[in-house]
């Protein structure tokens, strides 16, 4: 008993961490299990095991077009926000200029404003201007709320760079453009990739801002929300779990490559 008490107090933090991970993963596990449910109309009660939902994920009407929209919007928003955000990050990290406080405030405010207010205010403006909300208003909105997150991620990476590396390149007669292209950019690239990944995941999973500015366009989160009451098909679970697994593979593969590169360098 005494042995157990000592083991317990020594590993308390680990036990607690395991409990934390359990809390995080119970809903994922539930979603995974119910993706194999042989459901009828709504996927709430367990009715038996089947692979049908996985072999035919596009069976329910509208679900795959909704997923397609989410991916298209996610890629466009990521592209736009990553470029705009990276430029701002370089300006903030590398230059002294007047109005820095104002710029910092304008970057900080969208992150401190609830999504509901961002979405609602944008819709108010679109309606006042006589714009019909739809696919492009979603893209515009997503770029807007992703910029700040890209700026923060990329800026942190630039700030952590060793300035001596760039000085060394200059000492070796590289001009500014060459130094930027061959030294600075490759070093900042992981930060930009991180920012892009963050932007894509925020855009892909966004519901609140999209819900306001979607018009008749349906994205995957909107599909799930509108079908939640009428009965959600198990194919939604299939897509959710697939995205989860895909993200896991991409990030783990990225880390593996990163580690290899570090070892060989």
Partner 1 sequence: MVAIARKSTGLNPLDSLRQKVAMPYLLLLPGMLWLLVFFLAPILTLVSTSTKVPGMGIGEFVQQYRWANYWDAITAMQTQFIRTFVYAIIATLLALAISYPLAYAIAFKSGRWKNVLLVLVVAPFFCSFILRTIAWRQILAQDGLVFKTLHSLHLISADTRLTSSAFAVVTGLAYNFLPFMTLPLYASLERIDPRTMEASGDLYANGLTTFRKVTLPLSMPGVVAGTLLTFIPAAGDFVNAQILGNPSTTMIGNVINAQYLQTTNYPLAATLSFILMIAILAIVLVYIRKSGTDELV
> Up-side HSE of residue 205: CA atoms within 13 Å toward CB?
10
- CB 164, min distance to partner 1, A: 13
Q: Cα–Cα distances in Å, from 52 out to 48, 65, 230, 233?
A: 11, 19, 21, 12
**Residues 141, 147, 148, 150, CA torsion sign:** positive
Q: Give the position of tokens 């900080």.
A: 108
Nearer to partner 1 by C-beta: 122 or 183?
Answer: 122
Tell me the C-alpha distance between 45 and 28, whole Å: 17
- CB 1, min distance to partner 1, A: 22
- CB 50, min distance to partner 1, A: 18
Nearer to partner 1 by C-beta: 109 or 189?
Answer: 109
- CB 140, min distance to partner 1, A: 6
Given its phi and psi angles, is residue 130 left (phi above 0), alpha (psi -120 to 50 degrees) or beta?
left
């Amino acid at each position: 008993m005494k042995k157990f008490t000592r083991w317990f107090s020594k590993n308390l933090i680990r036990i607690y961490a395991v409990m934390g991970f359990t809390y995080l993963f119970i809903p994922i596990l539930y979603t995974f299990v119910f993706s194999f449910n042989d459901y009828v109309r709504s996927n709430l009660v367990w009715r038996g095991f089947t692979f049908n939902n996985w072999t035919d994920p596009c069976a329910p009407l509208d679900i795959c077009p909704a997923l397609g929209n989410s991916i298209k919007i996610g890629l466009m928003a990521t592209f736009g926000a990553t470029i705009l955000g990276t430029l701002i990050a370089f300006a903030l990290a590398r230059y002294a200029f007047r109005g820095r406080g104002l710029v910092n405030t304008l970057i900080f405010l969208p992150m401190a404003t609830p999504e509901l207010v961002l979405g609602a205010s944008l819709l108010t403006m679109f309606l006042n201007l006589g714009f019909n909300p739809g696919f492009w208003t979603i893209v515009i909105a997503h770029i807007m709320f992703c910029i700040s997150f890209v700026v923060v991620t990329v800026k942190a990476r630039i700030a952590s760079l060793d300035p001596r590396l760039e000085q060394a390149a200059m000492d070796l007669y590289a001009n500014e453009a060459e130094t930027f292209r061959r030294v600075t950019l490759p070093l900042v690239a992981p930060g930009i990739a991180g920012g892009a990944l963050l932007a894509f995941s925020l855009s892909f999973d966004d519901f609140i801002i999209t819900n306001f500015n979607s018009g008749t366009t349906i994205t995957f989160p909107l599909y799930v929300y509108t079908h939640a009451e009428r009965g959600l098909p198990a194919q939604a679970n299939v897509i959710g779990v697939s995205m989860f697994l895909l993200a896991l593979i991409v990030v783990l593969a990225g880390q593996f490559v990163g580690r290899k590169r570090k070892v060989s360098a």
